[in-house]
Structure 1
Amino acid sequence: MRSVCISLVAILGLAACDIQVEGPSGVSRPTEAPVSQSRTGGPQSLADFRAVVRQVEPVAERTCRELRPRANCDFRIFIDDREGLPPNAYQTLDENGRPLIGFTPALFAEMRNRDELAFALSHEAAHHIEGHIPQIQNSAAAGAILGTLIGSLAGLDQAGVETAQNIGGTIGARRYSKGFELEADSLGARIAQRSGYDPLRGVLYFARSADPGDRFLRTHPPNADRINTVRRAIGG
């Protein structure tokens, strides 16, 4: 949602009828049942998150199988509780290609209702369904190759060529990132709605967050574009 991370610590293993929290040691412990109502207007609890996951995760997996029948649609959703992490939600893949969605506890404190949690989760699931990670990797690789070629033609030394390669890879990786975010907003809105949540209410989280504007190499689009994308996706 805000960035893509790789390191994972506390895993929230999700099955169709059972949720367990798995600590760094790999030992699972049962969790309490979710509360029946969301705390509205204030920080959301872990119980709120669990309740949202129970509704959204099966819809996201079903949507994934419908749109990408050959993809791995077995989402694993977890809490990344490493100390000091900022508010964030992100999607990545494990070594076997299984889609992972991580939330930091600090994000719960910023969200005011389950609709916001549901939209964030649906948005991250949509990144996987849309195949954004391999597209970013391919674009980054192409950018790195171009940077290497330009550096070599310019007569740069080895260090200079490596710098040009890194710059090219960064530009390539970010070239389509704003479009990917809007694609994930659109599909995520539909997933959230199918899960019984209000994506128009959920996307209002962005109205309270810092607006990245429309700046070069920024990875996220302007907040107004995201809100309008959600409106169009659900006909609101």
Structure 2
Amino acid sequence: MHLKLSALLLASSVLAGCVEPTSAPPAQSTPVGPSASDEARYTRVVSRMEPVIERECVARVASNVNCDFAIILDEDPAKGSNAYQTLDRNGRPILAFTAQILPEFQNDDELAFVLGHEAAHHIAGHIAETRTTATTGAILGGAIAIVLGGGQSAVDIGMDLGTTVGARAYSKDHELEADRLGAILTQRSGYNAIRGAQFFERIPDPGDRFLGTHPPNAQRIAVVTETVQGL
């Protein structure tokens, strides 16, 4: 269901699959909003992909997982270019796009691939996995601080560090898994995932940093290409 952000309260603080801006806007610049053609593309792609995404979700996940996606366009002009997946307080999956990201897409395939990628995070259960590893990391970090004889401040630091490490432990794997499934969702919706993945060529490359949240862009493009060729 396509909704505006004001219609929902996003209760979850855990996000998956954030797409960063292609570049930081100059200070005090006026954000460039989407054109009528950008908004038409968004509506067209969402209408075409949503039933495919929900059908694939039902086919792939347990019966108790919510597959009723709410696809949201956040029209706040102050928000930066971004796309992400989260859950509302009732566990309903939210796929959110800010208005500022719409002009970043050069064609329908790019928007479709990003939409498929974000949906894939929910279908693959990445938010739940991240919460589990973050909680485990926090417990281990606090326990290590206690064993080493640290006080409460040391325990707090250990838990914070453990949370960060735990949350990022499988982040790159999650992104690549979402790229693979996102490519399948894109193709099954009638779009070209390889062409869509060219979006990665224009966003900052995170490289292969230790505990980074995203894999190198070249690796992601290669995964999408391999997946489509395999289909």
TM-score when normalising by structure 1: 0.82
- Flag the 1:95–1:143 CA change in 2: closer, same or farther, 3 A: same
Could you say which structure has the greater relative contact order, defined with CA pairs below 8 angstroms and 6 or more residues apart?
Answer: 2
User: What is the deviation of 1:62?
Assistant: 0.4
Structure 1 residues not aligned, in runs of 5+: 1-12, 15-20, 27-41
- Flag the 1:214–1:131 CA change in 2: closer, same or farther, 3 A: same
Query: What letter is aligned with 2:166?
Result: G
- Whether 1:53 and 2:35 are equivalent positions in the alignment is no
Query: 1:133-154 deviations in whole A, cap 9, x for unaligned?
Result: 0000000000000100111112
Q: Distance in 2 between matches of 1:23 and 1:222?
A: 31
Counterpart pick for 1:182 among 176, 180, 205: 176
- The equivalent of 2:82 in structure 1 is 88
- Whether 1:144 and 2:144 are equivalent positions in the alignment is no
Structure 2 residues not aligned, in runs of 5+: 9-33
Query: What letter is aligned with 1:135?
Result: E
The alignment of Structure 1 onto Structure 2 pairs a total of residues equal to 203
- Whether 1:116 and 2:110 are equivalent positions in the alignment is yes
User: What is the deviation of 1:163?
Assistant: 1.2
User: What is the deviation of 1:80?
Assistant: 2.1
Q: CA RMSD in A?
A: 1.8
User: What is the deviation of 1:22?
Assistant: 4.1
User: What is the deviation of 1:87?
Assistant: 1.3
Q: Distance in 2 between matches of 1:23 and 1:75?
A: 13
- Flag the 1:156–1:82 CA change in 2: closer, same or farther, 3 A: farther
User: What is the deviation of 1:65?
Assistant: 0.6
Counterpart pick for 2:56 among 63, 68, 76: 63
Query: What letter is aligned with 2:61?
Result: R
- The equivalent of 2:17 in structure 1 is none
User: What is the deviation of 1:85?
Assistant: 2.1
User: What is the deviation of 1:230?
Assistant: 0.4
Q: Distance in 1 between matches of 2:193 and 2:6?
A: 33
- The equivalent of 2:22 in structure 1 is none
- The equivalent of 1:31 in structure 2 is none
Query: What letter is aligned with 1:141?
Result: T
TM-score when normalising by structure 2: 0.83
- The equivalent of 2:160 in structure 1 is 166
| Runs of 4 or more consecutive aligned structure 1 residues displaced over 3 Å after TM superposition | 21-26
User: What is the deviation of 1:23?
Assistant: 6.6
- Whether 1:24 and 2:6 are equivalent positions in the alignment is yes
Comparing both structures, which one devotes a greater share of its residues to helix? 2
Query: 1:47-105 deviations in whole A, cap 9, x for unaligned?
Result: 11010000111100000011014121000000123343221110011111110010011
